[in-house]
Amino acid sequence: MAGRRALGWLILGGGIAAVAVLAWQSAQPPRGNRDSAPGRTARRTRWGEYAVTGHSVTIARPRAELYAFWRRFANLPQFMANLDSVAEEEGLTRWTIRAPMGRTVEVRTRIVTDQPGEVIAWRSVEGSEIDTSGKVMFADAPAGRGTVVTAIIAWDPPFGALGQMVARASGRAPGVQSRHELKRFKMLMETGEIATARRRPEE
Amino acid sequence: MRALTWQGTKDVRVETVPDPQILNPRDAIIEVTSTAICGSDLHIYDGVIPGMRAGDILGHEFMGRVVDAGRGSSLRKGQRVVVPFTISCGTCFFCASGFHSACDNSNPVETQDATETMFGHAMSGIFGYSHLTGGYAGGQAEYVRVPFSDVGPIPVPDDLPDDQVLFLSDILPTGWMAAENCDIRPGDTIAVWGCGPVGLFAVQSALLMGAGQVIAIDHHPNRLELAASLGAKPVNYRESHVAEALMEMTGGIGPDAVIDAVGMESHGLAPDRLMDRAKQAVGIGVDGIHALRAAIHACRKGGRVSVPGVHGGFADTFPTGAVMQKGLTLRSGQTHVQRYMPSLLHRIAEGEIDTTFLISHRLPLEEAARGYEGFRDEQDRWTKVVLKTPAADWSG
């Protein structure tokens, strides 16, 4: 039950924040908005058992560079505020995510797609504390503006729809987190640092 | 160090706070010599800018000497620099296109949400101007941490005293951009609402850009005189019907371009202004846009409307009909300071532009609170307040 509560507070930290819906998408017929808007912008945010969120950001750097930085998962805590650490073990990736009150949540994923310079997708495995999947895609932006990076994440919300509402109200919804993480990723890649208004390290 | 902190509406105090430090590689620490109070600081003083917290250090017009520089900074210790009020990374799409005040990367992620919700897109970082623009500590202090110091601060030659170059930080380029947004053609008539510092620099800039006549509108006699001394034709709205005067002074055509250098706390005698003020007073929080309405109303058909004045929220009875039916072009924005600084510094060094005429008061930083009070309550005489720190050379 402690695990379930931790999930309730889960901040996917964006780490997982990039996680893919591929496997799940192929398992279900596409439903939702019937216009040209990306599915993740549909007014309906539940897709079967899963909540889905996703964001795009344009980064003025080449596709290959961004892919390479992201693919080295150990780099991700540099811009994912709630990601404590990432470790590779036995073909799986173990994500340790900070939760409130000094606790951590562990998610284990395996890569399901890896196309250099284009897409990385992954999905949680049996025994992971969270059932989630996601992907991050890299595409050339028009007019030489760099690369459009799109991260999509699907997860089985702890406590269902109610838990999702609570998470959203507390600003800890993965949707907000992933949007912030992508912006930090952009800052780091474009400027070499992440903006802060602090005046001293201890602030 | 000593710094001017905002405590609440009409409550600012100089307090002792910890010195800033280098946190990111491209940072520099500037020891401030001169810093000014901006008309837009008065919006904060009056409590109409949201996102302020008690203890915030104000000030976005400042200059001084480099006392520390990170490994990614292009500045060297001892260099004398003027710092733009906008914080810009220099590499994002907007900075690379010259839209420095639209920088994607200078407002910390945590503080982007508010303006993203309010305006659809997040604002860039600005020194000392609320947590909507990052909550960066401002320049009315002895020391300031300046991020992206390889992009913003401009080194100035030692033979140009502080008072000649300080306004490169904001109001000079802001007045210049206001005039540039008028797309001035030779002989054009430009009407400027508000003879505060930005309005006056807009007058000066418009004439340099070839305007045939510049009409300056205000009600403070001293400020109108300053405008006249720059070459503008003053119109006092307490003495004349502005709309009629503008038609008569342009042969019944109307000004080719108009400038709202007033912003959200517009004064005036018209009923629409009283309505705005009443709504502000009960906390509905609309922007007062009397000057903007009057400017749009007066502008000739197919003319240009330039808005350097600060607006922060929503406005009632915005004259959409006049904009559409007369085919007006509206241009605005926080100033892309970095875009204009080098050429304006050159004009100052060449003696083409003088900015010192504006300064009415020089006070020690310790007396900053008195500066705010005077600048707000005695606008006719207090045209610009420059604060000097103990590190300053008071001779200028």
Q: Is residue A60 part of a domain?
A: yes
Closest partner residue to B105 among A180, A190, A201, by Cβ?
A190
- What is the least distance, in Å, from the CA of B50 to any CA of chain A? 17
Asked whether A134 and A149 are in contact (CB, 8 A), the reply is no
Contact with chain B for residue A127, Cβ under 8 A: no
CATH 3.90.180.10 domain span(s) along chain B: 2-170+335-388
Residue A104 confidence class, pLDDT cut points 50, 70, 90: confident
Instruction: Return the number of CB contacts < 8 Å for A and B.
Output: 76
Burial of A58 (0-12, 13-18, 19+ CB in 10 A): middle
Interface of B to A at Cβ within 8 Å reads: 18-21, 23-26, 72, 89-93, 96, 104-113, 125, 134-137, 145, 147-148
- Give start and end residues of each alpha helix (H) in chain B: 39-45, 93-96, 112-119, 162-165, 171-180, 197-208, 221-230, 242-248, 271-281, 290-298, 320-325, 337-349, 368-377
Residue A2 confidence class, pLDDT cut points 50, 70, 90: very low
Q: Using the predicted structure, report yes or no on whether residue A28 has a pLDDT greater than 70.
A: no
Helix then strand count (H, E) for chain A reads 5, 8
CB contact under 8 A, A191 and B26: yes
* Burial readout B9-38 (b: 16 or more C-beta within 10 A, e: otherwise): eeebebeebeebbbbbebbbbbbbbbbbbb
The C-alpha atoms of residue B223 and residue B238 are separated, in whole angstroms, by: 14
Could you write out the DSSP letters of every residue in A153-178? EEE--TTHHHHHHHHHHTT--HHHHH
The complex's ipTM works out to: 0.91
Q: Which CATH superfamily is domain B172-332 in?
A: NAD(P)-binding Rossmann-like Domain (3.40.50.720)
User: Rounded to two decimals, what is the model's pTM?
Assistant: 0.88
- From chain B, the residues in CB contact with A177 under 8 A are none
CB contact under 8 A, B93 and A198: no
Contact with chain B for residue A195, Cβ under 8 A: yes
Please name the residue that has the structure tokens 């430009």.
Answer: B190
Q: Using the predicted structure, report yes or no on whether residue A7 has a pLDDT greater than 50.
A: no
Q: Which residues pair with A134 in a beta bridge?
A: A19, A153
CATH code 3.40.50.1000 for B2-170+335-388: no
Tokens of B182: 């008028």
Tokens of A202: 């201890």
Contact with chain B for residue A192, Cβ under 8 A: yes
What DSSP character marks residue B288? B
One-letter amino acid identity for B21? Q
Q: Number of folded domains in chain A?
A: 1
Contact with chain B for residue A186, Cβ under 8 A: yes
Q: Closest residue of A to B143, CA-based?
A: A199
Q: Closest residue of B to A145, CA-based?
A: B93
- What is the least distance, in Å, from the CA of A107 to any CA of chain B? 25
Q: What is the CATH number of the domain that holds A155?
A: 3.30.530.20
Closest partner residue to A183 among B18, B109, B125, by Cβ?
B109
What DSSP character marks residue B18? P
Domain of residue A123 covers 2-28+42-191
Q: Which of residues 52-71 of A touch B (CB under 8 A)?
A: 58, 60
Closest partner residue to A196 among B23, B72, B90, by Cβ?
B23
Q: Closest residue of A to B127, CA-based?
A: A197
Closest partner residue to A193 among B26, B90, B107, by Cβ?
B26
Q: Is residue A130 part of a domain?
A: yes
One-letter amino acid identity for A172? R
What DSSP character marks residue B152? S
Q: What is the pLDDT along chain B (396 residues), one digit of tens a residue?
A: 999 999 999 999 999 999 999 999 999 999 999 999 998 999 899 988 889 999 999 999 999 999 999 999 999 999 999 999 999 999 999 999 999 999 999 999 999 999 999 899 999 999 999 999 999 999 999 999 999 999 999 999 999 999 999 999 999 999 999 999 999 999 999 999 999 999 999 999 999 999 999 999 999 999 999 999 999 999 999 999 999 999 999 999 999 999 999 987 766 555 566 666 666 655 555 566 889 999 999 999 999 999 998 888 788 789 999 999 999 999 999 999 999 999 999 999 999 999 999 999 999 999 999 999 999 999 889 999 999 999 998 766
Per-residue confidence (pLDDT) for residue A145, from 0 to 100:
96
The helix or strand, by DSSP H or E, that contains position A189, with its residue range, turns out to be helix A174-191
Closest partner residue to B93 among A145, A197, A201, by Cβ?
A145
Q: Is residue A96 part of a domain?
A: yes
The string of pLDDT tens digits covering residues B74-101 is 999 999 999 999 999 999 999 999 999 9
Closest partner residue to B24 among A176, A190, A196, by Cβ?
A196
- From chain A, the residues in CB contact with B88 under 8 A are none
Give every CB contact of residue B159 below 8 A, 6+ residues apart in sequence: none
* Burial readout B106-127 (b: 16 or more C-beta within 10 A, e: otherwise): bbbbbbbebbeebeeebbbbbb
CB contact under 8 A, A195 and B93: no
Residue from A191, A194, A200, A203 to probe the interface with B (highest B Cβ count within 10 Å): A191
Contact with chain B for residue A168, Cβ under 8 A: no
Residue B269 neighbours by CB distance under 10 Å: 10
CB contact under 8 A, A187 and B136: no
Contact with chain B for residue A200, Cβ under 8 A: yes
Residue B208 neighbours by CB distance under 10 Å: 15
CB contact under 8 A, B108 and A192: no
CATH 3.40.50.720 domain span(s) along chain B: 172-332
Please name the residue that has the structure tokens 């309405």.
Answer: B293
Q: Which of residues 136-165 of A touch B (CB under 8 A)?
A: 145-146
The helix or strand, by DSSP H or E, that contains position B80, with its residue range, turns out to be strand B80-83
Per-residue confidence (pLDDT) for residue A165, from 0 to 100:
62
CB contact under 8 A, A197 and B137: yes
